[in-house]
Structure 1
Amino acid sequence: MKNPTLVDVAKQAGVSLSTAARVLRNSDYSVDPALQEKVNVAAKAVGYIPNLVARRLRGGKQGVVGLVIGDMLDAHYAMIAESVTKRAETAHSTFAIVCNMQRDPMLEIKYLRKLLEYRVDGIILAGGGFDQWTHHKALAETIEELKRSGTIVTSLMPRNIEMPVFSADNAAIGITKAKFIVEKGHTKIGILLGPARNDMTKERMQAMTSYLSGYMVDYAIANIESTPEAGAHGAAEMLARNPDFSALICGSDAIAFGAISYLRGEGIDIPGRISVMGLGNTRLATLCTPQLTTVEMNFDRAGSAALDFIASHSASSVDASGEVIPHSLVIRESFAQLNGS
């Protein structure tokens, strides 16, 4: 049985094909309200569903965007997905397809190609920070293909590919954390960062350690996965290697959450013996005991800004400027001033 067409709707409603098309394609051309009602009733009666892909191929927008997130179980990505899907519905009457790349860079590329097949209006890359080097060429080629097809591609992190980026200043974040460490008088610290093959992590680390070196702060660095489980293991190893450090600086709230759980399980006072700082200001920051000092990254604002950009631009009018999203230090109970400082 073939799918119902506009011809079937027009015949059922007793109107011209052009009138049926204007109603069902939301044309700006004025149609009498009584005729609109007849067409809408007829469309339901015959089971007509608009072909959004065909509409896109005719030069229109589908009202569908793709969002590729890194890990659905990570509070950081959950915040982004919540903000994008909510704003898509409330501000733009847009449908968001959320793809979970499961921390796999090859799966990110696979989902981009699948979204290309669906001819979505735009894509927000909100994952992919786990390995930004190994598959960079394949990613760049896929994004160029998407752009040629008329899809607007944006990112919530720098990817060294020409596209609008909506992200905080990563070097500035590193300096914000470093200044706070120095201000609180810590001179021996451990640093638990996310994956090493990540340009954002590298940029933050370089800015932070460069600043700390100017104040004679000793630090030990470990690159781990950005999960609570890895944070717990990382804290244990850092404590074994450097038992006299007074602060643990983490590359995400998830890492910090796991580190705090481990340290408290070992009977270590936080922040009396070891202070802990996270990154992201996710829900995990307030679920910690004590609550976590962290950096507000405004993930929700970044996701909404990228969606607004897609909704307000056409593929031919896109520039690569994007927006620098502000960050701020959120001081809670997990970080202490050292005595005598």
Structure 2
Amino acid sequence: MFLLRGLKSSIIIAPWRSAVRTLKVAVVGAGGGIGQPLSLLIRRCPGVDELALHDLSETKGIAADLSHVSQRGKVVGFTGEEGLEPALTAADVVVVAAGMPRLPGMQRDDLMAANGRVAIKVATAVSKASPGALLAFITNPINMIVPTAAAVLKAHGNYDPRRLFGVTTLDVVRSKKFIGDSMNISPDEVTIPVIGGHAGITILPLISQCQPVFKGGSKETQSLTHRIQEAGTEVVNAKAGKGSATLSMAFAGAHFVGSLLRGLGGQEGVVECAFVASELTNAPFLVSPLELGRDGIQRYLPLPQMSDSEKGALEKLLPILRQNAEEGIQFAKNYLKEKSASPVPAALP
């Protein structure tokens, strides 16, 4: 039986009872709609000795504001492209919320054109300033951003697949909420793995593996699955073109960072789903359950059991993930060719 441990707000807003080593967390995009609440929630994570905030616009005010929170540790703001490497220097965890939000009718290629460059710049800066950091991307489109970052890290000789993550925790958060509401129970009582990718039909909540057992029929299961897959569009439409999911994403992102910190601190049994390099299927990157530890991914857990319909859905999404990975890697190759007269290393993934 698969259990997704945690995902309760107490991880974010209440102190841990066990001691953890002090760590530095850097938030890239700290001034944005996700970045500010994300930084606040991370500020409340015990064990964070330094919180570095970076954005292209001024972050000193945000840093000063957060420095008044009654929590141990310091908060430092960094601004502009010249401030990126100093912000990331000696970071243990780098979480990236920078980039353009998805707007109504926006095509994936349009979003990638803007945000792919963000991923490349951050991955390059991490390679120089904090090569041992755990690097977690919130920036969309995750299905392409993570392969892009992997290619850049590999080109710089700093690619460790156990340290690179696409944060898909919001899909789990939404699944727990929607299923909990449907079953008239607290979302905190729900555990469910969500595998695949982080867009549309690539998001695959395994409702057959939900605990407590979901007793709805196939029609209700299909309806819930569709809502989880299209929940991002639901928020984009509700905001009438003025943004995408920010607060719920900050909540989910802070939870994932909290889990990374618990793993770094030596806590055992920390399990999350995330988009990572994978050998579980024929897609090179996949959301799957992972056990986190001192080096990032401590153990790749096997895919949970699936119903026949879920197996069919997985087969349909894998070609999309393969194509997304190829496009992300090609994006990185093209960018690196533009920026350098020297050949792009043949060893790109």
> Common fold, TM-score beyond 0.5?
no
TM-score (norm. length: structure 1): 0.36
- Rg: which structure is higher? 1
TM-score (norm. length: structure 2): 0.36
